[in-house]
Amino acid sequence: MADNARLFFATLLNGLTLAALYFLVASGFTLVFGLLRNVNLAHGSLYLVGAYVGWVVGDWLGSWFLAVAAGFVCAALLGLILQIGVFRFMPGQDLRQTMATIALSIIAADIALWVWGGEIYQFDPPGWIIGATPLPIVGKFPTYRLVLLATAIVIGLGLWWFLVRTRVGMMIRAGVDDRAMLSASGIDVQKVFAITFAIGAGLAGFAGVVGGTALSIAPGEDTRYLLASLVVVIVGGMGSVTGAALGAVLVGVAEQFGLAYAPTYGIMFTFVIMALVLAFRPQGLLGRRA
């Protein structure tokens, strides 16, 4: 019995830390979608490229924190280039933009495979976060996962503060509600778009390094996190950061419980959640009708 409780809570905690990672990836995805109506299917590639660049920088400078920063900055720059160089020229053609992101994700995945090969890379974080922390019931739990959970909460709160309290955040929210009106009130919409895309992409790169430290980086991770982002925002509601948090918790916890209790059908848990949400609330739990 005690062992069952231990397994249950350990699984729950694992699910929450996975949810933290999913939230970091999916919040950028949903932010970009909410404002730009751009389903960025290259989001997983931004995650992977951010992770690789972070690894190179971390290996070179020997600092894990600089690696995290490098992952964020690199992915943000890539996002900026994408928005300014590609998507700006096809406004309103969301399907064409989406297909362009598919093409870019194929190209990015192949270039990453070319440059970094098929090996698995692991980060070297500072010693104090790779140990274990004793917790009640669960026993020893990897400290890094707790750090990940805390990071996601901090990022989530920061994002909330940014969107609600700052001027740019207000512009972004106004843009989500009515782009034409925002543009009519004399605001440079393209600049707001570029900022949003940079933040969204940067979050993916940030998550790449942070998540790559928790697990590892290898080809194919881009697909995994793209699927996670898709399911999280479909469940949570497109364009809603709170929805992304809720969706991430549901999906992350479901996936871990699936892995713990029904290993070979684990993915079905995620799928069933998505199917149920689509069947009863097609716009997502916290989404609004488009």
In the complex, the residues that contact another protein under the rule CB under 8 A are 37, 39, 41, 86, 93-96, 98-100, 102-104, 106-107, 109-111, 113-114, 223, 226-227, 230-231, 233-234, 238, 263-268, 270-271, 274-275, 278-279, 282-283, 290
Task: Say if residues 171 and 187 touch (Cβ distance below 8 Å).
Answer: yes
Give least dist CB 107 to another protein, A.
4
Task: Say if residues 213 and 257 touch (Cβ distance below 8 Å).
Answer: no
Give least dist CB 93 to another protein, A.
6
Give least dist CB 163 to another protein, A.
23
Q: What separation in angstroms does the CA of 233 have from each of 127, 189, 190, 245?
A: 35, 24, 24, 9
Cβ distance to another protein smaller for residue 142 or 266: 266
Task: Say if residues 209 and 73 touch (Cβ distance below 8 Å).
Answer: no
Cβ distance to another protein smaller for residue 39 or 68: 39
Give least dist CB 70 to another protein, A.
25
Give least dist CB 230 to another protein, A.
4
Distance CA 189, CA 167 (A): 13
Cβ distance to another protein smaller for residue 175 or 287: 287
Distance CA 290, CA 120 (A): 41
Give least dist CB 201 to another protein, A.
18
Distance CA 72, CA 208 (A): 9
Task: Say if residues 61 and 190 touch (Cβ distance below 8 Å).
Answer: no
Distance CA 39, CA 184 (A): 25
Distance CA 64, CA 61 (A): 9
Cβ distance to another protein smaller for residue 85 or 136: 85
